[in-house]
Structure 1
Amino acid sequence: MNIAEDIRTVFEKDPAARGMAEVLFCYPGLHAVWLYRPAHWLWEKGLYFPARLISHVARFLTGIEIHPGAKIGRRFFIDHGMGVVVGETAEIGDDVLLYQGVVLGGTSLEHKKRHPTLGNGVVVGSGAIILGSIKIGDRSRIGAGSVVLQEVPPDNTVFGVPAHGARGGAAARAQLDHNKLPDYCSEEMRRVQAEIDALKKELVKK
C-alpha cells in the first residue's frame, strides 16, 4: 500500500482538494480503496469471510462497494464515490478514475469472469454502467449516464444508452468534458426534420 502515492493522486485528479487533512479525512473514495486492499489480500489467501466483512464495513462507511475479489491497479481514484459498485471479477488498470454512481456489473450467474476489465487511464463518468466481461481499452472515456454493453477500443469516447459514438484521437485522451460530447440523438432528429421540411416543400410545389 503506497499511501503517499494515493494522496498525490487525489491532488492530481481533484481540483477541489485543498489540504492534506481534508484529503485524509474527507475523501470516501480514498478510504474505500484503503479498506479494499487488506480485504483483497485476505481474499487472495482464501479468507473469504473476513475479506467480505471488511468490504461490508467499507460500504457502510463510504457508500462504495468494492468486492474484495476485484483486481485493482495503482493510482486508482474514486471521486465523490457514493453508489459506486465494483464486482467480484472486475479488473481495473493503473490511473483509472471513476465518478459517483458508476457500476462495474456482471451479466451472468456462472462462476466465471463476468465483470468488466478497465485498461490503464480509463475515465468513467457519473452514473455510467458497464456490464459483462468486456474490455474498456486504455485511455478510453465513458460519458455520464452511459450503459456500456460492448467492448470499447483504446483511445475512444462513448456515451448514451446503449453507449455509442466511439471516436479516437486527442479528444478521447483529454479529461472527460461532457459539454463537448456530440449529441447524436439531437443530430438525427434535426436530420429527420430537415427531410420532412423538404418533402413538404415538394408537396406544395405539386
Structure 2
Amino acid sequence: MKLQTIGGFAGLICAATYVFGFAFLVTLLAPLGFGTVAIDAHAVVRFIDANPGVLILWNSVIYILNALALAVLVVAVHQRLHANTPGWASVTRAFGLIWATLVIGAGMIANVAVERAAYLAPQDMDRAVTLWETLHAVELGLGGGNEIAGGVWIGCVSLAGLLGRSLGKVTSGLGLLTGAAGLLTLIPIFGDVAGAVFGLGAIIWFIAIGLTLLLSRTNA
C-alpha cells in the first residue's frame, strides 16, 4: 500500500479521534467542566474513583491514537509537498513531528494522572485531587490546553499546499483558518472559543486532507 494511501487513512483516523473526543466532552464529561477553565477537580477525581477506565479510554483515543496517526500523516504530507515545495515540506515535517510528540506526551501524562488519582482517592481524596490538578496542568501545557503546535503545522501545510498547488484551494484555505484559530489559543481571552473553532475546523481539515491523499493521483 502506498504511503499516500496510508496517510489518507491516517488523516481520517485523526478526524475520528476529534469526533470521539467532542462526543465525550458534551456527554459524559460535560458535568465535570472538561474543556473549560471551570473544571471541577474534586468532581473529576470522584469520577475517576468510580470510572477510571472511561478517562483512560478518552485520553488514549484523543491523545495517543491521534498522535500515532498524526505522525504517519505528517510523513505522508511531507512526501506530497516535497515535489513542488521541498523547503516548505521539510519545515512542515519538523513542526508536525513536534506536534505529534507533544500530543503523545500529553496523553501519557494524562493517563498517569488518572492511574495515580485512582490509587490515592480511596486513601486520601485531597492528595489525589492535588496530584491530579498538578499533572493535568502539565498535560494542558503540552498541548491539551493550547493548540499552538497544531495551528503552526496545519497553517504551514496549508500555505505550502497553496503555494505549490499540492492540496487544493479548499483544503488549503480551510487549513489556514484552522491554523489561525490554533494560534489564537495563545491569547487567554480567546482561548476557549478559539480552541473550539480549532477543534471543529481540524475535524473538517483532517477529513479534507485525508480524502485528498486518498483520491488525488500521485506517483508516491
The TM-score with structure 2 as length reference comes to: 0.27
Greater Rg over alpha carbons, structure:
1
Which one has a larger percent helix, Structure 1 or Structure 2? 2
| Structure with bigger RCO (C-alpha 8 Å, 6+ apart) | 2
